[in-house]
A and B are shown apart, each in its own frame.
Chain A
């Protein structure tokens, strides 16, 4: 595929829920292949709504979403769902099969993969997140951090074009947080990370978008955006006490 094609392109996206609540008011942005981008925004900014548009779960408003040159729509739904891997906020929502192995196999098996090929895909995904030895354990017996890693593996097993993570660091203890960051850094995929954990965004993503009141309010290098006090205040984004983005060396 053409390497110049953006992994993800969103243009003019607007959407209202059936109860009349409007969440998106025309969102435009584009992410190049291999980029790691943070999507920042206060609660209720429409982040989750936007994520659900990326693989066509929500639709019916105006605007377009294109994944690796493929428009999101009914025609290519199966392929889009394979290309866009979403890791949801609560791993308990994501893990619904009785064993880790079956859970990771779910996506590829749904795409028709079988036998040793499937087995190999599962092993590779679990190895990428360092959970290979937990293959036959039931997910609900794992710790929260382990469950989140398995959730990432379930998506990696589909070998997605773009990995979308919804609040990947929430509820993680500092060690699990660091382990997950190491895993994400080691992956060679396009990443869109939705979060309000600003230090985590700074640590992992060179570029950030701010979604506020249903539109993209800012787009630029993460460090610059976080250092802009006026911008941050205007969009209800607050850095943790004592954290100064200017003093942090960027991990890219």
Chain B
């Protein structure tokens, strides 16, 4: 089982970013995204500066550019949406290479692309420098209600179980020559979903019984106290503060 062991998104390392307490990183990433979203879309240079800031963090965390860029692919469906915007949006239109595009749509596409990409990049950096278990501890320290933390930790614990069961069932399906193609295979996939649920539940139930047998009553016992010094907080918040300066410049210039 091993709940907290490294997830696929995590890159093991000993950089200063890795070493920061998780709750400072969570708060910093959230503040950074808030600042980015509040920036006017016309201030294109500001987004460039944000990207430079993130690149700086990635450098400090020794996360290679290739890794970061690959993980950005999650955004692709929205890129498709953004590309459509200039064609379907209304208002004034301009001719670009013989295509009639909406000015407003172009701005909208830029807005979504720029802010979305920066948000994704910030989250990717967080996930690749913080272990899952640490993230949960961070959320707990940020005063997320304990019930939510509990559900989240169960979710992560069962995530492994489900992934395992899913892989086993897929192998069983494929070894009998099944491949999902189109709508008529929904039935098979959905039946697998039902079976998957029961299998995972019964597994998870046993783990939970083992937990309550050892006195678990709703929240993970704190075995190692994590505290953040003022220096660590200010180090973590260097990113959102720098971003805030850029943002304010973006509004005033």
Contacts and interface: CB of A to CB of B under 8 A. Distances in A.
Do A and B actually bind? Answer: yes
A81 B213 CA distance: 6
Contact of B1 (A52, A140, A154): A140
Chain A interface: which size bin? 20 to 34
Contact of B222 (A86, A98, A109): A109
B62 interface: no
Given A92-B1, A98-B4, A81 B211 contact: no
- Of B206, B212, B215, B216, chain A has the most CB atoms within 10 Å of the CB of B215
Interface string B1-33: 111110000000000000000000000000000
Nearest to A151: B210
Contacts of A106: 211, 214, 216, 221, 223
B4 A154 contact: no
A154 B3 contact: no
A98 B153 CA distance: 13
A201 interface: no
B1 A96 contact: yes
The secondary-structure label for the interface of chain B is loop
A90 interface: yes
B136 to A, nearest CB: 11
- Of B1, B212, B214, chain A has the most CB atoms within 10 Å of the CB of B214
B207 interface: yes
B209 A52 contact: yes
Given A57-B213, A81-B213, A155-B214, A98 B133 contact: yes
B253 interface: no
A20 to B, nearest CB: 18
Contacts of B5: 98, 138, 140
B198 interface: no
Contacts of B207: 93-94, 96
A158 B223 contact: no
Nearest to B225: A114
A111 B211 CA distance: 12
Chain B interface: which size bin? 20 to 34
A112 B40 CA distance: 51
- Of A57, A94, A111, chain B has the most CB atoms within 10 Å of the CB of A94
A48 B163 CA distance: 27
B217 interface: yes
A82 B215 contact: yes
A98 B206 contact: no
A86 B210 CA distance: 8
Contacts, number: 78
Interface string A111-138: 1000000100000000000000000001
Interface in B111-160: 133, 157
A96 B3 contact: yes
A110 B209 contact: no
Contacts of B217: 78, 110
Interface string A95-112: 111100010011101110
Contact of B215 (A57, A98, A111): A111
B212 A81 contact: yes
Contacts of B3: 96-98
Contact of A118 (B4, B157, B209, B223): B223
B243 to A, nearest CB: 33
Nearest to A86: B213
Interface string A37-60: 000000000000000100101000
A98 to B, nearest CB: 4
Contacts of B222: 109
Contacts of B214: 81, 106-107, 110, 154-155, 158
Q: Which 7 A-B pairs have the closest CB atoms?
A: A109-B221, A107-B214, A110-B215, A98-B4, A93-B206, A110-B221, A140-B2
Given A88-B210, A155-B214, 4 more contacts: A78-B215, A92-B1, A96-B1, A138-B5
Interface of A: 52, 55, 57, 78, 81-82, 84-86, 88, 90, 92-98, 102, 105-107, 109-111, 118, 138-140, 154-155, 158
6 contacts: A88-B206, A97-B4, A98-B2, A109-B222, A139-B2, A140-B1
